[in-house]
Amino acid sequence: MSNLAEKAGHNLDLIKVQKPLIHNITNYVVMNFTANALLSVGASPVMAHAEEEVEEMVAFAGALVLNIGTLSDGWIRSMVKAGRKASELHKPIVLDPVGSGATSLRTRTARDIIEQTEVTVIRGNASEVLSLKSEDAKTKGVDSVHAVEDAADTAGILATELGTTLAITGPVDLVTDGSRVVRILNGHPLMGQVTGTGCVATAVTGAFLAVDPSPVDAVVSALGFLGLAGERAAQNASGPGSFAVAFLDALYSITPEELSKSIRLELS
């Protein structure tokens, strides 16, 4: 299936049929929202970060999502432990380097996870992605101070060096594995006004990776789907609060056929 738009719809259909288990070690700010988003898509979420169970849990999962939003020593050990086990079992891993570049702990943790595990996809904003390569890249808290295109060249180089796929999200999302570059044009400004939409993008990327062995195709499918959901939600929202509810409803109601028809992509 060469057409990426058709592939996106097909992947969404597979998630709804297969209901893959997605193991999240994520920040406690977004756990509830992320779990509800995965359920709305059709996947099965589990939030498990105890060191004593992460290896066992990841063995059951279709994908592992690692989000460094609220770090502690124990959670870092759990992420690395789960990531190593997922790598051993050839399970896809999605890393969200939340706030990397803002503090040395976050930057060091993101780089340690990349070095010690086989990360399939790194999903972050432009500043977070740049921080993985450059000591000079800084973020404003967890917000980006760089545009997506600022990180485009670095992303291609970094993806090649790490043997991974990078997804940089913003007004226009960019996905690259170092050779292929795809931009996703779907989305709405209100998505940036609700805490956790980026974390949801990472978790939902895990769901698409669980059904598609091509990282680029899976990430493009996921981000196009989320952007479309943002557009649909904005039509029924008066502000961030109603948008958050409408966003979950859109994730639930968008059909594979609608996704294939409405996803907007630019290949280069």
Q: What is the DSSP string of 4-44?
A: HHHHHHHHHHHHHHH--EEEEE--TTTHHHHHHHHHHHT-E
Question: pLDDT band for position 102 (50/70/90)?
Answer: confident
Mean pLDDT score of the chain: 92
DSSP annotation of 99: T
CATH number of 4-267: 3.40.50.300, 3.90.1150.10, 3.20.20.150, 3.40.1190.20? 3.40.1190.20
pLDDT at residue 59 tops 70 = yes
Range with lowest mean pLDDT among 141-155, 188-202, 209-223, 249-263: 141-155
pLDDT at residue 146 tops 60 = no
pTM of this structure? 0.93
Range with lowest mean pLDDT among 54-68, 128-142, 187-201: 128-142
pLDDT at 134: 53
Which residues have C-beta within 8 Å of that of residue 174, sequence separation ≥ 6?
148, 149, 151, 152, 155, 167, 168, 181, 182, 183, 184
Rounded Cα distance between 150 and 67, Å, is 23
Which residues have C-beta within 8 Å of that of residue 30, sequence separation ≥ 6?
67, 69, 195, 196, 199, 200
pLDDT at 226: 98
pLDDT at residue 93 tops 90 = yes
Question: pLDDT band for position 2 (50/70/90)?
Answer: low
C-beta atoms surrounding 71 within 10 Å: 17
pLDDT at 96: 96
Average pLDDT (25-37) is 96
Range with lowest mean pLDDT among 78-82, 131-135, 188-192, 237-241: 131-135
In this predicted model, which residue has the larger pLDDT, 131 or 38?
38
Give the start-to-end residue ranges of the domains of the chain: 4-267
pLDDT at residue 139 tops 50 = no
pLDDT at 1: 42
